[in-house]
Chains A and B, each alone.
Chain A
C-alpha cells in the first residue's frame, strides 16, 4: 500500500482488512502438563488394576499423551498443526526408545560386572580353575587381547595409512576408483568371514588344526585395514592444499612434502582415527574363536605358539558354560572390555584435543 492512498481518506473502496497473524495456538504450558497428566493417569490405572509394570506404564503414557496432544491440537489449532505435533511426539518417542537399550546395557554391565571386578580378577588367569570354582580371572585374556590387537595395529596401520596417502596424494583414474570402492566393500565383510579366511590360509600354510595369536591378529587386520583407510583418508583430505603448494614452492619434492608437511599436520586426526579403529576391533569375537581358539586358560604371551584367549572370547565361552559363576565372570569381563574401549575413546579425544596444530 502506498502512502498516497493512505492519505486519501475519502477513497470509496474500503481497505482490505489485514489478515490476523495470530492463529489460535495451544498455550505453551499445555504439552508438558498433558504429558504429566498422562503419566499420572496411566500410573493410577495400572495401580488400580494391579498390573504395575514400568515398561507398560511408559508405553501407555506416551500413547495417551500423543493422542491427547494431537486431538487437542486438531480441535483448537488446525489439522496441519495437529500432524506436526503428532510427528514431534513420535520423533521424541523414537529417541527415548533408542536410549532404553543403551542405558539398560550400561547399567546392567556396570552393576553386574562390579560384583566380581577387582584386583584379583584382573591379575589371575583361569589356569587350574574348574568352570564352577569360585576363583580365576581374566589376566590371560587381557594379555591376549592386547597382544593380538597390537599386532593387528602393526600390520594395519602402515598398509591403511599408505593406502590413504595413495588415494589422497597420488591416486588417479581406474585404480583409485577400484581401491575406494573395494575398501568400502571390505568394510562390510562379516567378521566371521575374516576368521574363515585366515582358517583357510592357515590350512594351506600349516595344515589343519593350527590356532595361534598371530592368526587372530591377521583376521583382525582384515577387519581393521578398511577402517584405518577410511578415517586416514578423511583426515588427509582436511589438510589444506595451500600447505602442499607452499612446500612445493620451496623446492621440496612430493614425497618429502607428504612425509614432513601433510602427515605431521594431520597427525592428531590420524592418531584419533587409528584409536577408534582399535576400539572397533578390540571387541571382535567371532574371528578369534576360529583362529586363536576358545579354550586357552593360561597366560600365553607368544603370538606364534598355542591358543590365545582374549576378553571377548572369554565372555563368550563363560556364557556357553552357563553356570551362575560363569555369568558373573562374563559380566566382569564385559565391564573390563567396555572400560578398555572407553579408555581408547577417551585417549582419542585427548589426542585430538591436545595435539591438534596450535595457533598460538
Chain B
C-alpha cells in the first residue's frame, strides 16, 4: 500500500512571496526520507504541500506537480480532503483531541467523517493501530481515559496511531520528536523503523543524528539568502550525504559550519 511520490518543478507561494523554489524529487515507497536544513529554509512548508495541508494557511498556493504513484494531487478535479486520507501527517507537538478518550482518538478519522463502524470493527482498528504505534501495552487498560492525560511521548505515539488508523499510504512527520525527551524520542525512532515496512515515510528533523539514524535518503534544504526562497540543495543516500556530500553548502551544514 505504500506509494511513490514524484515532485517536479514545485514552487510554493504565500501570497506574492515565493517561499520554496523549484523543488523536484522522487521519494521511494517503503523508505524513510529525511528533510534537513536550518530553520526557515522551507522544509516544513514543502512537507505540507505533499498532502495539501499548506492550503489551510490563507494565501498559500503552489505551482508544479506532485504525483502520488501516477496521480497528480494538484489536478483541478482532486479533492484535498481525499489526498489527506491517503497522505497522513504527524505534527511537531502532540495534538490529541482533548474532548475524546484514547479509544475515540484512534478512530477519530472514521468518527469525524461520520463513518459508522461496527463495534468489533472499531475494536480491531484501535488494537491494530495502537499495536502499530507501540502503545497498546501501555494503554490497553485505560482506553476510555482522555488522550490528553498521557505523557508527551505517549501522546505523540497516540497521534501516530490515529494517523495510521485511516490506513494512509504515506506518513509525513513534521519534527515529531522536537517536543519530546530522549527516551520518548528513541521510542518514536524505533517505531519509524518498523513503520517503513508498510509506509512511505517523510520526516522533517532539526536533529542531524536523528536523520542519520532513521533515514535511508536525506534531502538538504537551504535558503539562497535572507529574504530569498528556500531551495533543495542536495538529495541522496543518507550515508553519502553525511560522509561525502557533493555540495559545499551541505558539507558546511553537516560539519556545523554555516553560511
Contact = CB atoms under 8 A, between A and B. Distances in A.
- Complex: A in contact with B (CB within 8 Å): yes
Interface of A: 172, 240, 242-253, 256-257, 260-261, 264-265, 267, 357-360
Contact of B95 (A246, A251, A253): A246
B113 A251 contact: yes
A242 B175 CA distance: 14
Among A240, A251, A253, A360, max chain B CB count under 10 A is at A251
Contact of A252 (B51, B81, B159): B81
A22 B209 CA distance: 57
Nearest to B112: A252
Given A256-B114, A264-B99, A251 B81 contact: yes
Nearest to B162: A250
B56 A251 contact: no
Contacts of A357: 98-99, 146, 148
Interface in B131-147: 145-146
Contacts of B114: 256
Nearest to A251: B85
Given A256-B114, A359-B98, A360-B145, A250 B108 contact: yes
Contacts of B108: 247, 250
18 contacts: A248-B53, A249-B88, A250-B88, A250-B108, A250-B163, A251-B82, A251-B83, A251-B84, A251-B113, A252-B81, A252-B112, A256-B113, A261-B112, A264-B99, A265-B98, A357-B148, A358-B149, A359-B148
Contact of A242 (B58, B83, B84, B91): B91
Given A247-B112, A260-B112, A242 B95 contact: yes
A250 B89 CA distance: 8
Interface in B29-62: 51, 53, 56, 58
Interface in B95-122: 95-99, 108-109, 111-114
B107 to A, nearest CB: 10
B93 interface: yes
A250 B109 contact: yes
A256 B112 contact: yes
Interface residues of B, number: 33
Nearest to B88: A249
Closest 3 A/B residue pairs (Cβ): A251-B85, A357-B98, A360-B149
A264 B100 CA distance: 10
B163 A249 contact: yes
Contacts of A256: 112-114
A242 B93 CA distance: 8
B166 interface: yes
A265 B148 CA distance: 12
Given A246-B91, A264-B99, A358 B109 contact: no
Nearest to B80: A248
B92 to A, nearest CB: 9
B97 A245 contact: no
A172 B88 CA distance: 28
Contacts of B83: 251
Contacts of B84: 248-251
Nearest to A356: B98
A249 B99 contact: no
Contacts of B82: 251
Nearest to A256: B112
A75 B59 CA distance: 65
A248 B163 CA distance: 11
A207 B88 CA distance: 62
A243 B109 contact: no
Nearest to A358: B146
A257 B97 contact: no
Contacts of B98: 243, 265, 357-359
Contacts of A250: 84-85, 88, 108-109, 112, 162-163, 166
A234 to B, nearest CB: 18
B56 to A, nearest CB: 6
Nearest to B96: A246
A243 B159 CA distance: 11
Contacts of A257: 112
A257 B113 CA distance: 9
Contacts of B112: 247, 250, 252, 256-257, 260-261
A243 B81 contact: no
Contacts of A247: 97, 108, 112
Nearest to A267: B99
B186 to A, nearest CB: 24
Contacts of B51: 249
Contacts of A172: 58
B83 to A, nearest CB: 8
Contacts of B93: 242
A243 B149 contact: no
B97 A265 contact: yes
Nearest to B109: A250
Contact of A261 (B53, B85, B97, B163): B97
